[in-house]
Structure 1
Amino acid sequence: MNVRRQLTLSAIVLGIGLGLGGGPTWAQTAAHDHGQTQLELTLNAGAKWQGDDNMIKGMNAIRGALAARLPAIDARTLPAEDYKALATEAQGQVDFMVENCKLQPEVDEQFHTVLGQILDGISALQGEADPHEGVLLIVQALDAYGAHFEHPNWQSL
């Protein structure tokens, strides 16, 4: 992890720990973190990529699993085993999307970039380090997904 990103994450964690303004939401953190990881995605000639129903189903499930836990994550009250459960749920959805992938090669290439970052987040959630880094990676991947893929009624966290 580069120093700038580590300092930014430390500042976020410190701000949440001190309860400044109730702590930032993950959407605010991802949007305002100037040291955030930028996914290398492109649009399809200026338009969002068209996915399939399996992609939409899986991404809805990952977003829903994370959204349900965000209040406890923000409050730093989510038990460690719940971070592991989130990782398991997200991994299950990634596996489902990969196994049932029917995307065109160009779309698939872009989508696998998003999935790669989600997998990095899952890895961080399963590790011994602060699981908030994993949450941040997944939130950033979900935000990038929403900006680059057609998904009816998608809402950023």
Structure 2
Amino acid sequence: MHNRLTPLLLAGLLIAPAAWAAQGHEHEHGGAPAPALSLHQGERWPTDAPLRQGMGAILALINERLPRIHSDVATEQDYGELADGVEAQLGYMFQNCHLDPATDATLHTVLTDAIEGVPVMRGERPDISRRDGALGVIRTLENYGSYFDHPGWSGLDRH
């Protein structure tokens, strides 16, 4: 990911979901549907250290709150802290990851649910529950584990 574009890209990714929702919640980018997720020549996509660090931190944030999210007893504070943490890690990854263009495009598709979930978890979308925002982050983590080669990835703590 390119450092020069980071602030604009992050702002666009955080603002765009609200704009898409206002237009009927179609997940289209520039008139074209979002690319379908697929493996890279039958293998999971490569990762770099900043990506692994950021996704590992998001996983820890979710795992800490997962029982409360699944039991539907997480508080507004839980969701607010989760949104802040996810947003910080997304910013870190956008600023520090250096992936080839195809890997980067696949990563952006995987991250879409988490990016869209941040304002939802903050309560900025009263038509969508904060819990649904967290479930979007969970989908991101599940897709990341399925499509990206992250040595030692433990996935969600479902105990």
When normalised by structure 2's length, the TM-score is 0.71
1:72 & 1:147 partners in 2: Cα distance? 24
1:141 & 1:56 partners in 2: Cα distance? 14
Greater fraction helix:
1
Q: How many residues align?
A: 121
Aligned Cα RMSD in Å? 1.8
What letter matches 2:143 in structure 1? A
Q: Equivalent residue for 1:120?
A: 116
1:122 & 1:113 partners in 2: Cα distance? 16
Q: Equivalent residue for 2:13?
A: none
Q: Equivalent residue for 2:47?
A: 51
1:95 & 1:143 partners in 2: Cα distance? 20
What letter matches 1:137 in structure 2? G
- For the 8 Å contact 2:72–2:131, the answer to whether it is kept is no
Is 2:80 the counterpart of 1:81? no
Q: Equivalent residue for 1:16?
A: none
Is 2:91 the counterpart of 1:92? no
1:40 & 1:124 partners in 2: Cα distance? 24
Q: Equivalent residue for 1:155?
A: 154
Q: Equivalent residue for 1:143?
A: 142
User: What is the CA distance between 1:39 and its match in structure 2?
Assistant: 7.7
What letter matches 1:98 in structure 2? F
What are structure 1's unaligned runs of at least 5 residues?
2-37
- Percent of aligned pairs with the same residue? 33
- For the 8 Å contact 1:56–1:151, the answer to whether it is kept is yes
Q: Equivalent residue for 1:17?
A: none
User: What is the CA distance between 1:123 and its match in structure 2?
Assistant: 2.1
User: What is the CA distance between 1:132 and its match in structure 2?
Assistant: 1.4
What letter matches 2:132 in structure 1? E
What are structure 2's unaligned runs of at least 5 residues?
1-20, 22-33
Q: What is the CA deviation profile of residues 117-146 of structure 1, one whole-angstrom value per residue up to 9, with x for unaligned ones? A: 210111211123411111111111111111
What letter matches 1:154 in structure 2? W
Q: Equivalent residue for 2:68?
A: 72
Q: Equivalent residue for 1:26?
A: none
Is 2:91 the counterpart of 1:102? no
When normalised by structure 1's length, the TM-score is 0.71
What letter matches 2:60 in structure 1? G
2:113 & 2:134 partners in 1: Cα distance? 11
Residues 1:39 and 1:61: Cα distance change in structure 2 (over 3 Å) = farther
